[in-house]
Chains A and B, each alone.
Chain A
Amino acid sequence: MIEFQHVSFAYEKDRPVLRDLSFRIEKGEAVGLIGANGAGKSSVMKLLLGLLQGEGKILVDGVEVRKDTLAEIRRKLGFVLQNSDNQMFMPTVYEDMMFAPLNYMLTREEAEARVDAVLARLHLEHLKHRYNHKISGGEKRMAAIATVLAMEPEAVLMDEPTSALDPYNRRIVINTIRELDQTRIITSHDLDMILDTCDRVILLSEGRIVADGKASVLLRDRELLERNRMELPLSIMGRPE
């Protein structure tokens, strides 16, 4: 459902951030986009969402990402930002969750039914009427995921969803991601999380794809990971061969 064809991108001339990326993600796949800091993971997502414009072609369900198709494409893609403080802008969790459905012309009743369904599914009913600035970091991350799910997107993109979370909240986020049935693209250098949530991994280094394959295989390849400034997941490191 998502396809990159020879995509290149640079913020500043002569300093390419992404070089000739091509890959295809099928409907329902869960793909981990991994790489060291600055590898270009976030940029890939922003290109897909049309927040940045590069060279080459990006297709979502066969429709090219262009200015005139943005509204249609963005409706299909839910993006969980790395910093939840920047994601939530309405006073309460409830209002934030209502924002997208109402913009997409659902009635208040329909939107509210959606919001309640998502909250129930994520076991977050207690957050509904809380103020965004008065909930903890972990709660805010979950609330941010909830606002995106309330859009009922066909694909969910998450930029480092476990960054800055304690182990308990990290586990909650991981379990939530595992239970989603949408197409998922998740960036992270938390490889344990990727191993837990993704079947496939695309490894980026200095703006190029250096590996693309099964998570259970690539994430065991110590040499490959270390060459690209990453380490084996702890869960694999601790396991005898």
Chain B
Amino acid sequence: MAQVLIPTPLRQFADKQDTVEVPGRTIGDILATLTSTYPELRKNIFNDEGKLRSFVNVYLNDEDIRYIGKDAARVLDTDIISIVPSIAGGSLV
């Protein structure tokens, strides 16, 4: 099964695990299974419309899923999926 790496602050919503093995053939399947297993993760990753929150990026190995088919991206058992935030800012309002 593919491994999903859980960022530190979200581990409290995944039984304190830093890595979760999730069955599935596509990114969409895997994220759906992950967030139905751990519903508290769901609202941290998805918005009310079921889309990834604006600051959430998902990587399949080293590639942003937006460039490799998004939810339809195919996943192999040896793959590693990471949840990575977008962060920016500035002193100017």
Does B associate with A?
A: no
